Structure 1
Amino acid sequence: MRKAITVLCTAALTLTMAWGLPQTAASAKTVMKIGHSMPADTFRQKSLVVFKEIVEKETEGRVEVQLYPSGQLGTEMETLEAVKLGSVEGFRSGGFEEAAPLLEIYSMPFLFSDMEGIHKVTRGPLGEEIAKSVEPAGMVILATGDSGLFRQITNNVRPITQPSDLKGLKMRTPPMSTIVKTMEALGANVVSIPFIETYMGLKTGVADGEENPLTNIVSMKFYEVQKYLTLVNYQYHAEMFYVNKTWFDGLDEKDQKILKDAAKEMMLVSDKIVAEDDAKCMTFLKDKMEVNSLTSEQHQAFVEAVQPVYEYYIDKGMFTQEMIDRIREAAAN
């Protein structure tokens, strides 16, 4: 009888392993699929590899991290929706109104004056408070970092040193409302061109100029078809690490802490790569374009010109003046 029971148990274990049936809690493993839109040689994938290594080591294999760069899991909006639904566990990208309207606050024009102030917010208690705004959508944000440093302006018509210099220029922008509203407030005529087609649009004159971080200006070779670069530092884009809330809440507290700590370490690595790349691009572009920096008085003129953008979003109920004031205070202290 004992021999027969042993044979049956061995057979059952064999079937469990062969058919992928659930095993005991001690041997259980959870898979964390993470998608993003950038190629494998960029800061997102490089830092996500760090996250994967930390999580798999610290959880002793209880959490297996699978990375899917280059939009393998769909477009950014499709992947974000998949995280909400739980068919994908994680996603790295910028702030989207589709995730939570409050996240758009990071991209308000001239909200920040330097990266140190930004990190005081994104890495501090106020950043955690803003991150909680995605929870009603079924997600949590484990860490917030830099999608790029400040966005700058290039064009082929004239140097940009005051808001009136933008008046009438055909400026290519992505379909992001805070960018469109800002360019309109500065008097530019907004032109919608897909990112991958922007180079040809600038070359053929469909657009006079564009706005992007220095890293994009270099990687897309916009400097080949643009003459003037203005270091205006007008907008910052945050980088969020979204995770499905139901999946995350299902982990034990020990593994939740491991993931949170690994996510913060990942973003520090990511931010360091972004800063280094931006500095290299600045050195490169000095020899390729006419570079204009703003005086404090010129900068203030731009700040005053975009105040209607703040009024628009506050009236719309996206966020409050109180939150704007709290961010500025946190960044300054």
Structure 2
Amino acid sequence: MRNSKIVLGIVLFWVFSLIMSGSVLAVDYEMKIGHSQSVKTPRHKACVYFKSLVEKETNGRIKVRIYPSNQLGTEAEMMETVKVGAIQATLGGQFEAASPKLLIYTMPFLFKDIDSVYSIIRGPIGDKIAATTEKNNIKILATGVAGGLRNFSNNKRPVKTPEDMSGLKMRTPPIDSIIKTVKAIGGNPVSVPYAELYMALKTGVADGQENPFTNMVDKKLYEVQKYLTIVNYQFHPSPLYVSLDWYNSLDSDLKAILKKCAEKMMIYNDKLNREATEDSFEILKDKMEVNYLTEEQRVQFIEKSQAVYDYYIKEGFFTQAEIDEIRTAE
């Protein structure tokens, strides 16, 4: 009996020593991340990178599990499950569901170029916008780019001014700021599910559409669209939304590590998106007639889209001062 106790004591001491040395690691927390895109996309590749960073930096105390392609539900459903803590994180849209303040990013012609986007989402203004989600039990650890700036295409005529948009049936996603922008600049919004976009353009249900270059290439829209207008009119963020209750349950050192890893993840995400955007444009410009706007033409679109700002400011989503702060900081 005495020998058994001695052996047990030695074994316990050995296990304790291994744990303290890091040779045996217990998983303290599980972090499930759901998103809507395929494993081939920059978003998923960024998640895989995040997983490797987190598990290494926390010595395995946080185990990250990734669920792509809507495995955990639609974007809306995943957002709700993050709010109640059923899963720990998600990436993607659902801006207003997280905080109406995030819609400020989607205002037309707010950013001059993608570098201007980076300077805001990675800086103090981006941090301030992200903090507004905490009232909905969501913590944004970092914000990246979702596919690049958005542009117009159509199969009727070159578009260089708002007058050229007149009468064009433009397919829009169910995003209010896009619908309002297309109306403001003279187009006729047509609601078509993304999965049906190609056929809608091919059959004439819609004359044109708006999307990042990467989406246009992925859907092979160059086969059913003739004219491409480089307008860079809108940006969509891709925040890493985390359950605030879960985040607050973490030790302070783990919180700091997650934040650091999320920031690195988004820089990698943005790099992948930038490369994909450039590669996609090379394909599009060989298959479509590309129209570049002069500064004077771009100003015409900006002036027409002011009505969109007026609406959101009047409804209290954000203030003119907040818009000015972003434009000044760029």
The reply to whether TM is greater than 0.5 is: yes
Residue type at the aligned position of 2:149? F
Identity of aligned residues (%): 51
Residues in 2 aligned to 1:140 and 1:6: alpha-carbon distance in whole angstroms: 49
What is the number of residues matched between the two proteins?
A: 315
Residue 117 of structure 1: how far off its partner (Å)? 1.3
Residue 327 of structure 1 corresponds to which residue in structure 2?
326
Structure 1 pair 169/30, CA: closer, same or farther in 2 (3 Å)? same
Residue type at the aligned position of 1:150? L
Residue 115 of structure 1: how far off its partner (Å)? 1.4
Residue 48 of structure 1 corresponds to which residue in structure 2?
47
Residues in 2 aligned to 1:192 and 1:203: alpha-carbon distance in whole angstroms: 15
Structure 1 pair 250/290, CA: closer, same or farther in 2 (3 Å)? same
Residue 5 of structure 1: how far off its partner (Å)? 8.4
Contact conserved, 2:76 with 2:94, CA < 8 A, in 1?
Answer: no
Q: Deviations over 1:56-87 (max 9, x none)?
A: 11111110000000010000000011100100
Structure 1 pair 320/31, CA: closer, same or farther in 2 (3 Å)? same
1:108 pairs with 2:94: no
Structure 1 pair 28/293, CA: closer, same or farther in 2 (3 Å)? closer
Residue 94 of structure 1: how far off its partner (Å)? 2.8
Residue 95 of structure 1: how far off its partner (Å)? 5.3
Return 5+ residue gaps in structure 2 as ranges: 10-24
Q: Deviations over 1:124-162 (max 9, x none)?
A: 011000000100000100001100211000001110000
SS at match of 1:98: helix
Q: Please list, as runs of the form range in 1=range in 2, the aligned pairs for 1:183-202 lying within 5 A after superposition.
A: 183-202=182-201
Residue 179 of structure 1 corresponds to which residue in structure 2?
178
Q: Deviations over 1:6-40 (max 9, x none)?
A: 9999xxxxxxxxxxxxxxxx845210000000000
Return the TM-score normalized by structure 1: 0.92
SS at match of 1:94: coil
Contact conserved, 1:230 with 1:293, CA < 8 A, in 2?
Answer: yes
Return 5+ residue gaps in structure 1 as ranges: 10-25
Residues in 2 aligned to 1:203 and 1:239: alpha-carbon distance in whole angstroms: 30
Residue 232 of structure 1 corresponds to which residue in structure 2?
231
Runs of 4+ residues deviating >3 angstroms = 1-9
Q: Please list, as runs of the form range in 1=range in 2, the aligned pairs for 1:203-214 lying within 5 A after superposition.
A: 203-214=202-213
Residues in 2 aligned to 1:85 and 1:5: alpha-carbon distance in whole angstroms: 47
Residues in 2 aligned to 1:262 and 1:303: alpha-carbon distance in whole angstroms: 37
Residue type at the aligned position of 1:310? Y
Residue 2 of structure 1: how far off its partner (Å)? 6.4
Residue 114 of structure 1: how far off its partner (Å)? 1.1
1:305 pairs with 2:304: yes
Residues in 2 aligned to 1:215 and 1:199: alpha-carbon distance in whole angstroms: 14
SS at match of 2:51: helix
Contact conserved, 2:149 with 2:233, CA < 8 A, in 1?
Answer: yes
Q: Please list, as runs of the form range in 1=range in 2, the aligned pairs for 1:278-317 lying within 5 A after superposition.
A: 278-317=277-316
Residue type at the aligned position of 1:194? P
SS at match of 1:251: coil
Q: Please list, as runs of the form range in 1=range in 2, the aligned pairs for 1:257-296 lying within 5 A after superposition.
A: 257-296=256-295
Residues in 2 aligned to 1:89 and 1:121: alpha-carbon distance in whole angstroms: 26
Residue type at the aligned position of 1:268? I
SS at match of 1:248: helix
Residues in 2 aligned to 1:44 and 1:312: alpha-carbon distance in whole angstroms: 32
Contact conserved, 1:153 with 1:230, CA < 8 A, in 2?
Answer: yes
Residue 119 of structure 1: how far off its partner (Å)? 1.0
